[in-house]
Structure 1
Amino acid sequence: MVRHRVRWVESGGGPLIAVPETVLPFWAGADGDETASDYDRACEIDGPVGLLPVGDSAALVLGDEPAATAYLPDHGTFVRWCAADSEAELLSGVPSALATAEWGEEVRWKVPGPVFLFDSAWPGTETERAAPLCVTLTPGAYGVRAAWVSPGPETWLGLVQLRLLAG
């Protein structure tokens, strides 16, 4: 059986952000003439997830830890690699981590379609240089919840689960 590696996104030390494709040009990253840049606003998010207004939409900030992050569409979850000896070890722990997670408070995120995950320091107009991950999401409202889980003695990961809400 051939296993396909997932694509991980990393940051230079700040939070990662998932910005809807429709408002990418409005994300200024660490650039800008404002006293507080978009990147500064992302760094102010307290906790594992938060929402920031961008254009006529909102971006999802993955806060707390600048861990390498992948999206697993089969689980509707961003997985954040905190500690594991290998990718295989980390990914094999995801099902049990999802089943045993003690989820934090859920936020409601309205998504107009695909989002791009990248280092929040980059401007949205330069995301190709930031090697973003495009995540195809069905337009609608999502419940977003997060947890930090240790599915094994040497494995720690963060979970940010997106659940499409009815109606």
Structure 2
Amino acid sequence: MARYADPGAVEWVESGGGPLIAIPEVVLPFWSGADGDDMSSDYDRACDVEGFIGLVPVGDTRALVLGDEPASTSYLPEHGTFVRWCAAESEDELLAGVPAALAAAEWEREVQWNVPGPVVLFDAAWPGTASARTDHLRVALAPGRYAVRAAYVEPGPETWVGLVQLRRLTS
């Protein structure tokens, strides 16, 4: 995991150039990454997602693909949001702009995601069983149904951020 500031700063996950994916821990062994036996690998399916977000089947559930560009990404639990570092002079500058970005966001269409528990964010090219050996971030989501929406925001002249917000639904 990359760190861009002093200890205590958030941890960032980076990819080798493709999309990042958040997979429920319980189905990690079912994700083959780029090592698929079929004509199309799991990684290919993740790459086929158009736009900022999409869902792909994994085992008996679905994983959240963070598409568009391979930006360094972290999860801010206080905002229930994956934050994607598109441009900023520093981590502090980027994180300071998150509240303004959330307030100004023009959200894309929302998707519904049923989550059986904690998820692991990592480069979609890796097999799920190897995710612990690469950049990854465990996100302790409570089981349930979530509304997921995404936006790209420029909260400052040189600060650009991608947002993927998760909102737990009660019914």
Please tell me the residue identity of whatever aligns with 2:126.
W
CA distance, structure 1, for counterparts of residue 132 and residue 123 of structure 2: 11
* Identity, % of aligned positions: 70
1:110-166 Cα offsets, whole Å, 9 max, x none, are: 000000000000000111111310000010000000000000000000000000001
* Alignment match, 2:75: 71
1:81-104 Cα offsets, whole Å, 9 max, x none, are: 000000000000000100110000
* Alignment match, 2:44: 40
Q: Does 1:60 align with 2:49?
A: no
Give the paired residue count. 166
The Cα shift of 1:48 comes to 0.2
SS of structure 1 residue aligned to 2:69? coil
* Alignment match, 2:17: 13
The RMSD of aligned alpha carbons is 1.0
* Alignment match, 2:159: 155
What TM-score, normalized by structure 2, do the two folds share? 0.95
CA distance, structure 1, for counterparts of residue 43 and residue 134 of structure 2: 14
SS of structure 1 residue aligned to 2:22? strand
SS of structure 1 residue aligned to 2:129? helix
Please tell me the residue identity of whatever aligns with 1:56.
D
Contact 2:14 2:135 in 1 (8 A): no
The Cα shift of 1:3 comes to 7.5
For structure 1, which runs of at least 5 residues remain unmatched after alignment? none
Which of the residues 92, 114, 118 maps onto 1:114? Answer: 118
CA distance, structure 1, for counterparts of residue 147 and residue 23 of structure 2: 16
Q: Does 1:124 align with 2:128?
A: yes
* Alignment match, 1:94: 98
Q: Which runs of 4+ in 1 moved over 2 A?
A: none
SS of structure 2 residue aligned to 1:156? strand
